[in-house]
Amino acid sequence: MVEAAMVDVFVIGGGINGTSVARDAIGRGFSVMLAEMNDLASGTSSAATKLVHGGLRYLEHYEFRLVHEALAEREVLWAAAPHIIWPLRFVLPHHRGLRPAMVLRAGLAMYDYMGGRKLLPPTKSLDLRTHETGKALKPGYRLGFEYSDCWVDDARFVVLNARDAADKGATINTRTKVISARRLDGVWQVETETEDGTRDEVRARLLVNAAGPWVDEVIGGALGKRGAHNVRLVKGSHIVVKKQFEHDRCYIFQNSDGRIIFAIPYEHDFTLIGTTDEDFHGDPRDVRISEQETNYLCAAASEYFLNPIGRDQIVWSLFRCSPAIQRWRQRRAGGDARLCAQDRRHGRRRRSDQCVWRQVDNVTAVGGIRA
């Protein structure tokens, strides 16, 4: 009997986390194989707001390290892939019934400083009564602030990570599901199955579960640990409407519930508006935008735009399901340690959205929710 091939690292999941792990590991000299049950970026990684940003709203929750680390990567990624990542200017109108102008200006000054900004232009104040970005807004908005972040073609970014990993020697298998992974004599025995039913087995020294919203499904199914409830699922939805303004800036709008939404030029002729953020209970494959989310986004955008956004203007919708760790905990018993890279607040609930937990022989990565 022919012995199964051996790799150093086996990655489950072909989203941005999985392909980034594969690219990083192969670049460090490890042998790598990745299996994605569908296509690359077929889940969460192709349905976000498509921004490379630090999360301005997290500053008021004192998540300074999270914001700093995210911002520090912004210009690094821009330099690495300038053909699919480029700078955007965001306009934040001051809403007199919400956060004071001084608070917004102070927060944006911190945002400029914390990210080690070198090439992106700094924040500046705008008179929306005369500036071109004020023409699309209701007359009551007079003061605004303009700051920098970046846009990314998220699906292509995933594919480029996978392509670069493959060029360096990694094996990238799409349409390939991991159906079993068992630890035997210190080595993982991983069994995969393709769409046509072909099965294969590979051995791995380290297993990385980067399955996104299917993290628990992998733990409970392939790894055989039934009843796994390590993540909660969060749904984020966007609506796409016909172009609402002619300039190339984006808007970030504050809402009375404390959340923010973006309005971003999209595919030349459209405006992308989102996102929502609500718990999801069900199969990630069945995630859809709800009527409540649609009404919320229309109302939030209409609070600012001169021309109200109605349901009849929606061309299509984007929606994704992301995993989030609700609470941080660390257990030393049995050699299990959960190490949360980021632990951030949202509203009144504290949650950890970016976590890695490991058990000596395997690693589970849960990607952070980006607006």
Asked if residue 248 and residue 194 are part of one domain, the reply reads: no
pLDDT at 357: 56
SS3 state of residue 252:
strand
Asked if residue 332 and residue 317 are part of one domain, the reply reads: no
Considering only CA atoms, which of 9, 103, 3, 90 is closest in space to residue 49? 90
Asked if residue 316 and residue 176 are part of one domain, the reply reads: no
Asked if residue 216 and residue 245 are part of one domain, the reply reads: no
Torsion region of 185: left, alpha or beta (phi above 0 gives left; psi -120 to 50 gives alpha): left
Give domain status of residue 30, yes or no: yes
CATH number for the domain harbouring residue 259: 3.30.9.10
Give domain status of residue 128, yes or no: no
Asked if residue 281 and residue 174 are part of one domain, the reply reads: no
Give domain status of residue 129, yes or no: no
Burial (CB count within 10 angstroms: exposed 0-12, middle 13-18, buried 19+), residue 255:
middle
* pLDDT, block means (10 residues), the chain with 371 residues: 84 96 97 98 92 89 90 92 96 95 95 89 97 97 97 96 98 98 94 97 96 93 84 94 97 94 96 94 93 97 97 95 66 36 35 52 59 45
Give domain status of residue 100, yes or no: no
Domain total in the chain: 2
Q: Contact 55/63 with Cβ under 8 angstroms?
A: yes
Asked if residue 191 and residue 308 are part of one domain, the reply reads: no
CA distance 282 to 271: 29
**Predicted TM-score (pTM) above 0.85:** yes
Give domain status of residue 332, yes or no: yes
SS3 state of residue 109:
helix
pLDDT at 365: 67
Give domain status of residue 72, yes or no: no
Q: Which domain holds residue 318?
A: 232-324
Question: What would you report as the CA-atom Rg of the chain, rounded to the nearest whole angstrom?
Answer: 22
CA distance 302 to 304: 5
pLDDT at 76: 92
